[in-house]
Amino acid sequence: MSLRPTLDFLLYQWLGVESLTSRERFADHSRDTFDAVLDTCERIARDKYAPFNRLVDTQEPHFDGDKVILPQATHDAQKAYADSGMLSAAQDYAIGGMQLPYTLEASGNAFFAMASVSIGSGMLTTGNANLLMQHGTEAQKRVFALNEFSGRWSGTMCLSEPQAGSSLSDVMTRAVPDGDGFETDPLGPRYRLTGNKMWISAGEHELTENIVHLVLAKIPDDNGKLVPGTRGISLFVVPKKLVDVNGQLTGERNDVALAGLNHKCGWRGTTNTLLNFGEGKFPVKGQAGAVGYLVGQPGKGLHCMFHMMNEARIGVGMAATMLGLAGYHASLEYAKNRPQGRAVGPAGKDASAPQIRIIEHADVKRMLLAQKAYCEGALALELYCARLVDEQHTGTPEAADEARLLLEVLTPIAKSWPSEWCLEANSLAIQVHGGYGYTRDFPVEQYWRDNRLNMIHEGTHGIQATDLLGRKVLMDNGRGLQLLAARINDTVQRGIQQPALAAHANALAAALQRVGAATKAAWATGNPAEALANAVPYMQAFGHTVMAWIWLDVALAALNHDAAQTQPTTLGRLAATRYFFHYELPKIAGWLPVVESRDATCAELPEAAF
């Protein structure tokens, strides 16, 4: 079963991405070049990723005392990925990129996430290099970013620390000027860094010649004190191996040492590490301290990071989505082939008749349709957000600003919703398989384990919810929320005119109104502690409302292209829409009451009562 028909429909029929080729930046592109990229990604994912997904789960990374060992398949897969040019797919032709829309880059990467999410494509490396292209000096771009885009080096993001997981203001890594003339280093102001960084994905390995760490650290003030809070945070580029201004290794190791590999429940194809910076294991010029070069202005480190956060969060949402789709396809295949049991009612009374296939049972169909509605819906949402990124980058100033604001509001949903519901889809995929799904002979239990990470990394569920209700729906006096409501209302208006969809459209309008009212009710007292105490149930209801809108909009496009509903795919999309409106949207009635009443049951419970 291929992802392509669904992806093609969403890209071309629903989002109309072909129209992007009329923009100057994408003028050399056409549906043919887009398709060629998707073909290439699909092929590499099929040949170099999918066959090794279980292998990377079983042979998890280990440290042999000298090096981190990963299976050869991981080396091969990442080389094939780099060779495809996808690492710089969205970059300018001038630096060897393809000037591909982000929507297509994200679509191409989806194949790798589906085939083996933890072998991974190049999200961190691309993100790291993108950040340097935005905030780095010319030398930093040339030396670090370009060598990442080529696949020669890879990149990391070093934010968390053992004592500061989600709380970046408590970062304690110190950066002090590296001697006289530190300011005039051709690679940027040179510092020495000391500290520990936790949860660093791809923090140590031998897949590439070098690793480019982007590290958040604080420059002490004149009294040697670290500035409290996030405004004290600066950003540094810290290579694992020192390099010269021409991007050649100097042959000297930087003072960055692997302190430990994290042994995870899933997602084992990628190392996850604790790194010690500047502990003196690899002294540089006889001195402890990891050499790092300042990126951007001192104290603006988090600002630089935020620049890439939307895309990283869309990337996580897409990964969760593709794991969900992988489980959906696997369980659909299984259900079509597994005989078990007989029909309910008189038709099933004849015990001597052959068993039916489990896809003929209503409850199995329910579990399959739920997966389809969750995962194909999530894919549509991620692509919608990716399309907004393109609009932000290449639209008219007005459209770009609107896209920016919409993205601010939608990103917490794009990250959190698939993390929660495509994980649930993976659980349903196990359930469809019965006992077999619980064994390692079938892939679905691994998808489920892999997917459990997505509610945690790149901002936990709770942090997304606080971001949504505490910041995003309020910013610019609520203009982001109003823009979203306008788009939803536009879909509602079109839906009302379609007899098959009118009831859904009315249900969506009611849900939107209730979410809007709940937003106001949450903030009625203006007390953040009261408003945010139930931010997660709020986000769940908000997310389901957004997804209902996405499905209604997709259904309209499906009918637009096949008004007579002659194609099974059209029936499938209409059924998934109906499933979402009948089985899912009513759930907001379970989440919103505590938001509307600013329920304090949890917030006020004394610790001793647990």
Which of the residues are catalytic?
Answer: 458
Measured from the CB of residue 519, what is the shortest distance to a second copy in angstroms?
A: 17
Exactly one of 43, 281, 285, 587 binds a second copy (CB under 8 A); that residue is 587
Contacts of 357-362 with C-beta under 8 Å, sequence gap 24+, read: 358/334, 358/432, 359/332, 359/335
By rule CB under 8 A, what count of residues binds a second copy?
103
Q: Quick one: 420 exposed, middle or buried, by C-beta within 10 A (0-12, 13-18, 19+)?
A: buried
The reply on whether position 363 binds a second copy by CB under 8 A is yes
Structure tokens at 446: 């691994």
The reply on whether position 541 binds a second copy by CB under 8 A is no
The reply on whether position 164 binds a second copy by CB under 8 A is yes
Listed ranges 10-18, 408-416, 512-520, 527-535: which one lies at the site for a second copy (CB under 8 A):
527-535
Q: How far apart are CA 451 and CA 373, in angstroms?
A: 17
In sequence order, the β-bridge partners of residue 210 are: 153
Measured from the CB of residue 88, what is the shortest distance to a second copy in angstroms?
A: 30
Listed ranges 207-215, 484-492, 556-564, 579-587: which one lies at the site for a second copy (CB under 8 A):
579-587
The reply on whether position 566 binds a second copy by CB under 8 A is no
Exactly one of 43, 263, 471, 520 binds a second copy (CB under 8 A); that residue is 263
Exactly one of 13, 99, 262, 506 binds a second copy (CB under 8 A); that residue is 262
Q: What is the DSSP string of 159-205?
A: --BTTBSS-GGG---EEEE-STTGGG-TTSSEEEEEEEEEEEET-S-
Residues in region 30-89 near a second copy by CB under 8 A = none
Q: Which residue has the tokens 């004290």?
A: 232
The site map against a second copy for 173-202 (x = CB under 8 A) is: -------------------------xx---
The reply on whether position 461 binds a second copy by CB under 8 A is yes
CB 327 within 8 A of CB 426: yes
CB 273 within 8 A of CB 200: yes
Exactly one of 72, 287, 340, 560 binds a second copy (CB under 8 A); that residue is 340
Measured from the CB of residue 123, what is the shortest distance to a second copy in angstroms?
A: 18
In sequence order, the β-bridge partners of residue 261 are: 273
Listed ranges 85-93, 123-131, 226-234, 284-292: which one lies at the site for a second copy (CB under 8 A):
226-234
Residue 178's closest CA among 246, 238, 247?
A: 238
Measured from the CB of residue 230, what is the shortest distance to a second copy in angstroms?
A: 8
The reply on whether position 451 binds a second copy by CB under 8 A is no
The reply on whether position 506 binds a second copy by CB under 8 A is no
Q: Which of 96, 228 has the CB closer to a second copy?
A: 228
The reply on whether position 5 binds a second copy by CB under 8 A is no
Q: Which of 94, 609 has the CB closer to a second copy?
A: 609
Distance of CA 392 to the CA centre of its chain: 18
Distant-in-sequence, close-in-space partners of 335: CB < 8 Å, separation ≥ 6: 357, 358, 359, 364, 368, 432
Exactly one of 49, 334, 374, 579 binds a second copy (CB under 8 A); that residue is 579
Structure tokens at 204: 């140590």
Structure tokens at 465: 């919810």
Exactly one of 452, 472, 504, 514 binds a second copy (CB under 8 A); that residue is 452
Burial 565-578 (b: 16+ CB within 10 A, else e): eeeeebeebbebbb
CB 328 within 8 A of CB 368: yes
Measured from the CB of residue 214, what is the shortest distance to a second copy in angstroms?
A: 19
For residue 23, the 8-state DSSP code is S
Helix, strand, or coil here: 32?
Answer: helix
Measured from the CB of residue 397, what is the shortest distance to a second copy in angstroms?
A: 35
Q: Which of 237, 550 has the CB closer to a second copy?
A: 550
Burial 60-78 (b: 16+ CB within 10 A, else e): bbeeeeeebbbbebbeebb
Measured from the CB of residue 385, what is the shortest distance to a second copy in angstroms?
A: 24
The Cβ of residue 590 has, within 10 Å, a number of other Cβ atoms equal to: 12
Q: Quick one: 400 exposed, middle or buried, by C-beta within 10 A (0-12, 13-18, 19+)?
A: middle
Measured from the CB of residue 272, what is the shortest distance to a second copy in angstroms?
A: 8
Exactly one of 10, 403, 536, 559 binds a second copy (CB under 8 A); that residue is 536
The reply on whether position 465 binds a second copy by CB under 8 A is yes
Residue 140's closest CA among 306, 353, 300, 292?
A: 292
Exactly one of 45, 77, 237, 368 binds a second copy (CB under 8 A); that residue is 368
Residues in region 20-39 near a second copy by CB under 8 A = none
Q: What is the CA radius of gyration of the chain?
A: 25
Exactly one of 300, 303, 342, 561 binds a second copy (CB under 8 A); that residue is 342
Q: Which of 179, 260 has the CB closer to a second copy?
A: 260
The reply on whether position 299 binds a second copy by CB under 8 A is no
Q: What stretch of H or E contains 591?
A: helix 588-596
Q: What stretch of H or E contains 379?
A: helix 362-394
Measured from the CB of residue 533, what is the shortest distance to a second copy in angstroms?
A: 4
The reply on whether position 478 binds a second copy by CB under 8 A is no
Residues in region 400-429 near a second copy by CB under 8 A = 427
Listed ranges 97-105, 151-159, 487-495, 578-586: which one lies at the site for a second copy (CB under 8 A):
578-586
Ranges of H-type helices in 45-122: 53-58, 72-83, 102-116
Structure tokens at 310: 């939307």
The reply on whether position 440 binds a second copy by CB under 8 A is yes
C-alpha torsion 71→82→158→178, nearest 10: 110
The reply on whether position 532 binds a second copy by CB under 8 A is yes
